[in-house]
Structures are given as C-alpha cells and as structure tokens.
Structure 1
C-alpha cells in the first residue's frame, strides 16, 4: 500500500496545501513565502527521500510563526495519514547529522504518543533571521499531529543556520528509517499489538 497523503488546511491566518509520498525519491516543490523555511523543507525532503509538495500562504507580514506552525501541523497530519495503520514499519528511527561545526542527533518513535524534546546550545554565536525557537514550534506541531515521540539533541554548534539545517536533515533521515518496512514485522511493532 502506498504511503501517500494530500491535505488542504485553511484558517484565518494560513492556507496550506500539502502532499507527501514517504516512499518517493526526494522530489519536491515547496513554496511557503519564507525562503529559509523553503530551504529547510527541501533538505528534509531530499535527505528523507520523500516526494513533497507544499503550497503555503500566510500572514507573514505579521510574522513567520503562523505559517511555520501550520505547515508543521499539516505535515504531521499528512505523515500520520500516509502511515495508515502503521503495520510493518520499523517504528523507530535515528540519525546523527553533522553540518560544519554542528552535530545533531534525532531519535523518534512513531508511537502515537506525541512528545518533543528539543535541546540546542545555550549560546548561539551567529544568529539568523529564522531562529531555533521558530524551528522548535514547527517540530512541536509536527510531532504532535504525526503522533511521534521526537528527541532533537544538538550536541554542539555555533551558527544558527547550521544548527537548524542539521536538525531538518536528521529529522528527514530518522523519519525515513522509522517509516520504512521490515519484512520481519507482521502487524505493528508493539508487544501490545497496537500503536
């Protein structure tokens, strides 16, 4: 069964149209009105081998928060839908990804128990226009709607761009692993028999 989903979500602040194929090749077409965010979602898609299309408009003249959070909500809904009953998937994924001076590890459990742990360096020496706390809001929304326990740990890093980039790459890689099939798994990977 194909692991695909397409979702349209409209609110008074944003309009998000998104489609994903978790078993794709990394093809992507992303437009959010926020160039840095587009770049991060490109990396998530490319490194996870997801085919991803996002057309998002929002009140970015107010700030980026509504658009970033709502894309996280819709992406989480799409991943949850694409995984369906979660039968046969590995469930767990982990990736360690360097980006110049930065090293990030992402671990996830597609558990239907959403939780986010987000650890970044206390002091960031090179700031950017898209900060790590905005990235945190994206991943909080994504994990919550996807039903994923998500641990993001940036072991060290100085440049905000590098920190965020390593997170998005690692998250794509970890999700690719967690959502992949394993022939040894019949049903769901849980001793309870349900996720």
Structure 2
C-alpha cells in the first residue's frame, strides 16, 4: 500500500476561493489516500481529511474528477500515517485558524480542531502542521521527496501521478502550482 495526497483545485465554493486567495495557492483542499494502486483521474478512492463540508475529520470515498485534482505520491510516508489520521476521525473542522495562519501569522493549533492540510501534515509527521496551507503542504512534500530521493541516491522529482489535461508527469521545478502567483 502506498500513500498519496490529492490536492483540490476545482472551482468549488466561496470558501474554496477564500482559501486559495488567503494562502496564495491554486489549491483549496487536500485529501490523504492509501491505495494498493496508483490513483488515476476517474477513480473512486478512499480518502481521509478534515472537511468543512463534512463538519470535521472523516473517511470518505471520493471520485477524482477531471480538472479538479492533482495527486502526488508520498513514497517517504511513515507506515503509521493512516493510523495517525484515522485517530482524528470525528474531530471538528478549523477553517478560520488556517486562514488566520496565512493572513496574520497566527501559528497556533486549536485543540482538537483540524483543517485538511494541518491534519495531513500531522499524520505524515511533518513539523509545524498547524502552519501548513494546502500549498505549503505540497512544498513540504516536495522537499521531503527530494531529501528521501537523495538519501536513496536517486533523482529527486516529485511528479503528480494524476491530474488534468496532459500534465500527468510534471517536474515540480517546472510546475506552476509549486510557485503560484496571484495578480
């Protein structure tokens, strides 16, 4: 079984637009996937995340729709990642702390409340999970992938395993989502 993180960039709701603007990222949400095969656009996958729509941390089957998701492999994820995430199921969602953490450098975790990228960063064992927006999480995954690859004496390229259009294989150094700009 392998770990993946799916990043949402669909139009979504007004909350999605606020998150993208506040975090200066094309992504407004993310989901942790544990799968025995590489997820592809069109697949329905079992995900775990914190969601405002679902009022907190939950496990849910999601169909990865064309034009809405980019999925990245996380080969360095600790084996206990899913168990850490699953232990948070039922905890409430924490939207405003995530937005404040990006706008005014509010870097505190609200006890027992989680937002998507914070919950996934915590589950992956990353430092300062309470300070991670979806875009920050992708950059952290990229950095850890580079370190992991160097440790394994291999070429470090974080590539989405699925995404829209023809960008199924994108080197993060050239991926506009790694360094988004807003006008």
Q: TM-score, normalised by structure 2?
A: 0.28
Q: TM-score, normalised by structure 1?
A: 0.27
